[in-house]
Structure 1
Amino acid sequence: MLCSTCRLRPPVTDDGRCLLCAGPAGAAAPMPPAPMPPAFIAPQQYLRSPEGLAKAVVVLLTLVAVADVLAVAAGQNTRRVVAAGLENDFAAYDDAAASLADNLYATAGVLQTLVSLATGVVFIIWFRRVRLNAEVFDPSMQPMRPGWSIGAWFVPIANLVLPRRIAGGIWTASAQTNTDGSWRTVPATVMNLWWGFWVVSLVVSQYATRQSWKAAQPQEILDTTALVMGSDALDIVAAVFAVLFVRALTRMQGERAALGTYPLGTPGVPGRADWGRAH
């Protein structure tokens, strides 16, 4: 059973509202008898600032976008060399230019791989940090246990859905409440755009990679290179929205930490939380 107002949290008042929607009046409402602990008692009492990790993630995501731009340029150069050969049936094919194009394309691919791996590691560490903070802010909004903030990324197929589900819980729990303690909705547009572009770029990249492995004829190389360039362009857009998402969520958690660890008005809980050292 969920709150009759927000449909998100367990009800704690006689009229079926949760603690946040009930406002100050809800703070005095007795908790209904239940075998489980109260909904807003978190397993930890401290927060850790995600700001340092967020800065590192932003820098790495910027490098991802730069590597993608270089890959697009290398791909365009490869297409130019191959197209020039097709024009005269490779009668005057420039082997030196072709070799240079291959080397540049391969180097760009290696750079993309290295930067993406580094970014993925640091991003997941940041993601776990904000997930643990969300557990302190409002554990009732978390759809999965904290460990899934890492594991969800490594489950085939499910990793296209589960991390977004976890991010949604973090986003809602990190939203700054209204001054009267009531729940406030923060539009998740930037999060949805980041996730949408990331999933699309991932799917297109996988398809383009498989097609490039099968490409043997010059025209096939031209087509698959263009497809890979398209996936790189999508990845650039995804990286931009990822930066906006990381910065927005990190800022939200800082503002939320200044208001209090638990939902405002929770009996017996301090009204303010500082970044601690636990986790």
Structure 2
Amino acid sequence: MICASCHSNEAVTGETRCARCAPADSFAPFVPPGPPLRSPVGLGRATVVMLGLAGAVDLVALWLDLRPPSGRVTAAVGIAQGGLMAATAVVYLRWLWRVRANAEVFDASSQSKARWWTIGGWFVPVVNLWFPRRVVLDAWDASAPQGRPAGHGLVDLWWTLWVAGLVVDRLLRVDSRWGVLAAADAIDLAAAVSAAVVVLRLSRMQHEKALGGPLLPSAALG
């Protein structure tokens, strides 16, 4: 095919102009169309900060559990725990939605749950005992470095602690003795720490895979 501009040189494959007539950016590497990747790092850090604050309050609550009861102080700490849990949940779910969307760009076929389960899976009774874990595991596997399987031990530890916390919370509704209360605060603290580690690890995996892979330009990580 002859160049459409100079009508003398051979046009570059896939172009209508030759290398001399076409602008340099016409031959940039092809980027496949599709949704852009968005960095989870900022949201991940915000989530870890919130989890850290929640864990700190859980630590204070655990310390109070080991002392003679003080109704006013205990009530204040309980309110702080509830408020921080709600605020942390909002930030965490935003981060989880971001990593789930990125995972779909990495490997849509590996996502076994529809994207809306990223949020709804936490609130639908019964399925909330395993759907959120599945969403995280699917994102985890899709974000693993190329050719290297991602172990699930860290995610399983976090989810075991989360479910244990739900069980102990149920027990508290029928038995609010010191032993159960202390166990609940200790499990909540451990769950917060393990969740923070999962958030940091998955955010880093996605960031490194996006920068090192050919899927989209790194500018899409903004």
Q: Could you tell me the TM-score, scaled by structure 1's length?
A: 0.65
1:80-122 CA-to-partner distances (Å, cap 9, x unmatched) read 35xxxxxxxxxxxxxxxxxxx1001101100100011111111
Give 2:138's aligned residue: 169
1:259/1:272 contact within 8 Å kept:
no
1:175/1:252 contact within 8 Å kept:
yes
Q: CA deviation at 1:211?
A: 2.1
Give 2:209's aligned residue: 256
Give 2:62's aligned residue: 72
Other structure's SS at 2:174 match: helix
Distance 1:46 1:207, change over 3 A: same
1:43/1:136 contact within 8 Å kept:
no
Give 1:204's aligned residue: 168
1:46/1:275 contact within 8 Å kept:
no
The one-letter code matched in structure 2 to 1:226 is: G
Equivalents in 1 of 2:34, 2:160: separation in Å? 32
Give 1:143's aligned residue: 112
Equivalences for residues 14-33 of structure 1 within 5 A: none
Equivalents in 2 of 1:131, 1:234: separation in Å? 26
Q: CA deviation at 1:75?
A: 2.2
1:197-250 CA-to-partner distances (Å, cap 9, x unmatched) read 1111121122113323xxxxxxxxxxx122111111011111111111000000
Other structure's SS at 2:173 match: helix
Give 1:188's aligned residue: 152
Q: CA deviation at 1:277?
A: 7.3
**Unpaired runs of at least 5, structure 2:** 1-31
Matched, 1:118 2:87: yes
Matched, 1:228 2:181: yes
Equivalents in 2 of 1:242, 1:226: separation in Å? 24
Distance 1:57 1:131, change over 3 A: same
Structure 1 window deviating more from structure 2 (164-173 vs 183-192): it is 183-192
**Unpaired runs of at least 5, structure 1:** 1-41, 82-100, 178-182, 213-223, 261-269
Give 2:20's aligned residue: none
Give 1:20's aligned residue: none
Other structure's SS at 2:81 match: helix
Give 1:237's aligned residue: 190
Choose from 72, 82, 93 the match for 1:103.
72
RMSD: 1.9
Matched, 1:63 2:16: no
How many residues are paired up? 191
Q: CA deviation at 1:145?
A: 1.2
Choose from 110, 118, 124 the match for 1:155.
124
Equivalents in 2 of 1:122, 1:210: separation in Å? 31
User: Matched residues, percent identical?
Assistant: 39
1:172/1:185 contact within 8 Å kept:
yes
1:64/1:116 contact within 8 Å kept:
yes
Equivalents in 2 of 1:273, 1:52: separation in Å? 19
